[in-house]
Chains A and B, each alone.
Chain A
């Protein structure tokens, strides 16, 4: 394997980590602040992708599609919080899992009812199409670099929001003690709706950005949801920094595991066995990573006990 290919694969790993971060950031925000396990987060991701596909097909503009995705996912999030989620904060996690699982089914069948069973078309804008050449002669798709850029901007924005703004202080206070912050005269239920809508909008944005290079179809959110949960468990529940670091770790492990393990096994096994053992082990690598992290830091890398 050449150095160039290795650098390219590291870039791929970072890029896949950033895509996961977009999804995990909203999830960890909701989980950390409100203590709610939201399985329907993947559905909000799907809502974003479908809104982007439908609106950009109608208007011909990817940017308008992106805005529609943010708006649709945030609106869906706010409605769901107001009608369903609100009743779940005081219940135990099993009730939350059941209720949000029901939401997955409702969202999936609702989307199928509206858009049909066939995948939708959503393409990246022509200005961002094709590869560009990086220093060292690496050809890399421009759109994926844009995803990395957007992800980093969102990460910085979220840090700033949580650490520097009044809302951020309220969110952190709500995380620590919801009764106390309510007693201090802050409308906690409004704050929760806001946080949930923000998390949903992040999921919608991720769905729209990622949907452009993947398949926009019913049920697209669930595989990502599982990975996003792995990310926030590794990073530490509720921590944005943890979500970023966890997402990058998962992205890099997943990508490099898939690339490096089969040739590694081929050095001491025959080729076809090495391919199948290596591929299988690569599929497990992120879960092994999660197990190791939890062994040494049961609350995750940046989690608080």
Chain B
């Protein structure tokens, strides 16, 4: 089932392999992208890839090698070894899942490769395990949840019912919410990872004293839960981080998701020039609305190109400094790196609405301004 290895030379100038066309400052950058293109969750990897390729389109200095990790850590590790040793890439990117990132990133940075994370921000890599070569262009795992906790405090949500799958990212998300939330947690339950039926949990929600259900259920789990929740007649408000409500899965949930609040660092209606161009270009190129994963892939490519224009990737210190400047027009608006090379960015509260026939998200306010993670304090570099 190995995905065919593709080597794409962005733009038409691929034939001029001599590098004579390289721009004044930077040279060519060879990028290795390992992402999930088959199996469950392939939609996320496809969006990151498409977003990245959209931004890199026509840039002859970026050479991209794409491989499919099938969401399996052992395959991701093999692919990373291959990219580092035989493909000899300069920069790696693409991984979607925290457990895969933990398997690949420390080894890649130890071998002197830059890694730009277009999704997944495990706390280890933000704190003690931070690296001068690791840049997170998406978010630290806790970010959306901390922002949601603050938003709940400010919006009169006093009693919440918490639910997440029983695995490290699920526990992190709930811990992130509880870090900022000051109200009462009436129930806290952990479901099986990959669970598809939530009848028992929904009965508990019905019986609970909570006024809001806060949950983190990525991918298919979120689709199943939302459809069942909407059909159950339980009338408590639902809220969660954006992962259960990105564009790729809203189509599958349909109107059952209407009114749900979710936190995100990006939304397609954010009012800035870069974002308008991105949303229009993405729709023109791929014929669907972009998701937050596509936005992250796009920003990752913009960041990379901004650094490549200033410094040669072979000069590690200069290239790192160029990345740290984050000198690109992010689709999220303001974007800076904290000292641990994780984002400082606004986190918005979005609401699921219907625009014509399309179920999508709309920004309703800022949940946390200039948010950065708490783990940076442990990062020594």
| CB–CB B200/A2 < 8 A | no
| CB–CB B39/A144 < 8 A | no
For A238-275 the 0/1 string (1 means CB < 8 A from B) is 00000000000000000100110010000000011001
| CB–CB A130/B233 < 8 A | yes
| CB–CB A9/B166 < 8 A | no
| CB–CB B207/A213 < 8 A | no
Q: How far is the CA of A119 from the CA of B1 in the complex (A)?
A: 20
Interface of chain A, main secondary structure: helix
For A187-227 the 0/1 string (1 means CB < 8 A from B) is 00000000000000000000000101111111110011000
| CB–CB A118/B252 < 8 A | yes
Cβ-based interface call for B375 (8 A): no
Chain A contact residue count (CB 8 A cutoff): 53
| CB–CB B188/A16 < 8 A | no
For B39-71 the 0/1 string (1 means CB < 8 A from A) is 110110010000000000000000000000000
Which residues on the B side are within 8 Å of A218 (C-beta)?
Answer: 39-40, 42
**Which of A19, A109, A119, A224 has the most chain B CB within a 10 Å cutoff?**
A119
Cβ-based interface call for A15 (8 A): yes
| CB–CB B231/A143 < 8 A | yes
Stretch at the interface among B6-14, B16-24, B93-101, B191-199: B191-199
For B238-253 the 0/1 string (1 means CB < 8 A from A) is 0000000000110111
The chain B residue with its CB closest to the CB of A257 is B200
| CB–CB B43/A119 < 8 A | yes
Chain A nearest Cβ from B135, distance in angstroms: 27
Which residues on the A side are within 8 Å of B46 (C-beta)?
Answer: 117
| CB–CB A216/B252 < 8 A | yes
| CB–CB A8/B223 < 8 A | no
**Which of B40, B206, B232 has the most chain A CB within a 10 Å cutoff?**
B40
Chain A nearest Cβ from B158, distance in angstroms: 19
Cβ-based interface call for A131 (8 A): yes
Cβ-based interface call for B106 (8 A): no
Q: How far is the CA of A100 from the CA of B334 in the complex (A)?
A: 52
The chain B residue with its CB closest to the CB of A133 is B233
Which residues on the B side are within 8 Å of A1 (C-beta)?
Answer: 207
Chain A nearest Cβ from B318, distance in angstroms: 39
| CB–CB A119/B220 < 8 A | yes
A-binding residues in B (CB < 8 A): 1, 37-40, 42-43, 46, 166, 171, 188-192, 194, 196-197, 199-201, 203-204, 206-207, 219-221, 223-224, 227-228, 231-233, 248-249, 251-254, 256
